[in-house]
Amino acid sequence: MAIEPPERLVKALDEERRDEGEPVGSGTGAAWLTMLPELLRQAVDRRGLTVERVHAPGGRSSLVVLVRRADGGPAVLKLAPPQARPADERAALAHWNARGAVRLLDDPDGTGTGAGAGAGAGAGAGEDGALLLERLRPDVSVRSLPEAKSMLEAADTLHRLWNEPPAGHAFETVAERTGRQAEAMRRTADTSADTEVAALVDAALDARGALVAEPPGALLLHGAFRQSKVLGAERMPWLAVGPEPLVGERAFDLARLVRDRVEDLIAAPSGPAITRRRVKRLAESLEVDRERLTGWTLFRAVESGVRARRVGREPDAEMLLEFATWL
């Protein structure tokens, strides 16, 4: 099946390759892109779908295809490489069962078109790497709203996702994910001649150390939440998409939302003050400890900034690291 992967996806996979230090044209991302046309054909045939078009710009870690089911109903087929852990996304969506999140249409084995699946779903996704999802409004995210309203709606959507993880789950924890990130940050700081960046990394690592030492109750988190992950829908005004689920404290999940529209914050003379107000309002509205939210916001901003610098996205790195100095 002839397809043209969106430039955003190709670029993101190439950045992943560079971050891992792999040669050009190598790595799991490159191999997956080579196999993608056949993977799409198999996923479409297995589910009896008709392809309308590839959605662009789409995601940074998956191919999003607008399709029609056998009964003519609209849906979305999402294909992701193994490193994106599509089985985890399937299990999280099945557990949420369309409460606050996009509805999973596949059966537990990853090949049907049922209305949902049990909390242990995902065996098929590990091989297939595809998810059949309800069709939302892919071009309308909560970012289209005025800033104050978008924050309110995004926070409300995120709050609906926080619940107890399924028994016997295999999701990674906040401590595990951030532990890997911390190691990469240390390596970058050790080889950096920029003392300001090294100091920020030290502060972020210190904050993480204190946060994981005494974690509050663990819930199932979205893991990659931001305004662009909240799309318009028919059955509810807004629904979350694209989780990278993990288990941990709410402050970690909320931290990425604090820096949403960071380019606007950096351009505003009152950016630091706006950021502090965001932290206060989000913490109070969702009953999250303010200091823990500040700590995770610092860690996640520095981690993203350092990673952006490693892969050559210097403008993004400068914005994120400047934002981190405000916390």
Domain shared by 194 and 318, yes or no: yes
% pLDDT > 70, the chain: 92
Query: Can you give the pLDDT at residue 155?
Result: 96
Please, which pLDDT band fits residue 64 given cuts at 50, 70 and 90?
A: very high
Determine contact, residues 48/69, Cβ cutoff 8 Å: yes
* Residues in CB range of 88: below 8 A, 6 or more apart: 122, 170, 171, 172, 244, 245
**Mean pLDDT on 126-139:** 86
Q: How many domains does the chain have?
A: 2
Write out pLDDT tens, residues 222-240. Answer: 999 999 999 999 999 999 9
Among the candidates 135, 157, 191, a domain finishes at 135
Residue 287 within any structural domain of the chain: yes
Q: How many residues does the chain have?
A: 327
**Mean pLDDT on 192-199:** 85
177 has a pLDDT exceeding 80 = yes
Domain shared by 194 and 286, yes or no: yes
Query: Can you give the pLDDT at residue 28?
Result: 81
Domain shared by 191 and 321, yes or no: yes
Domain shared by 153 and 110, yes or no: no
Mean pLDDT, rounded, of the chain: 90
Domain shared by 123 and 164, yes or no: no
Query: Can you give the pLDDT at residue 96?
Result: 97
Domain shared by 107 and 204, yes or no: no
- The boundaries of the domain holding residue 112 are 7-135
Write out pLDDT tens, residues 38-58. Answer: 999 999 999 999 999 999 888
Domain shared by 235 and 315, yes or no: yes
Please, which pLDDT band fits residue 59 given cuts at 50, 70 and 90?
A: confident
Strand-pairing partners, residue 25, are none
**Mean pLDDT on 107-123:** 41
Domain shared by 96 and 162, yes or no: no
DSSP 105-128: -S-TTSSS--S---TT--HHHHHH
**Structure token digits, residue 287:** 């009953």
**Mean pLDDT on 139-168:** 94
Please, which pLDDT band fits residue 115 given cuts at 50, 70 and 90?
A: very low
Query: Can you give the pLDDT at residue 125?
Result: 41
- Whole-number CA gyration radius for the chain: 20
Determine contact, residues 289/283, Cβ cutoff 8 Å: yes
Domain shared by 126 and 191, yes or no: no
Higher pLDDT, 88 or 107: 88
Task: Return the SS3 of 133.
Answer: strand
Query: Can you give the pLDDT at residue 276?
Result: 96
Domain shared by 113 and 222, yes or no: no
Q: How far apart are CA 89 and CA 223, in angstroms?
A: 10
Q: How far apart are CA 66 and CA 51, in angstroms?
A: 6
Query: Can you give the pLDDT at residue 24?
Result: 66
For position 216, which CATH number holds?
3.90.1200.10
**Structure token digits, residue 113:** 């078109």
Q: Amino acid identity, residue 156?
A: D
Q: How many CB atoms lie within 10 A of CB 158?
A: 24
Q: Which of 83, 74, 91 is nearest to 133 (CA)?
A: 74
Write out pLDDT tens, residues 241-278. Answer: 999 999 999 999 999 999 999 999 999 999 999 999 99
DSSP 50-109: EEEEE-SS--SSSEEEEEE-TTS-EEEEEE--GGG-HHHHHHHHHHHTTSSBPPB-S-TT
Residue 31 within any structural domain of the chain: yes
CA triplet 207, 211, 216: central angle to 5 degrees?
Answer: 160
Determine contact, residues 17/29, Cβ cutoff 8 Å: yes
Residue 299 within any structural domain of the chain: yes
Q: How far apart are CA 247 and CA 221, in angstroms?
A: 6
288 has a pLDDT exceeding 50 = yes
| Helix, strand, coil % over all residues of the chain, rounded to 5 | 55, 15, 35
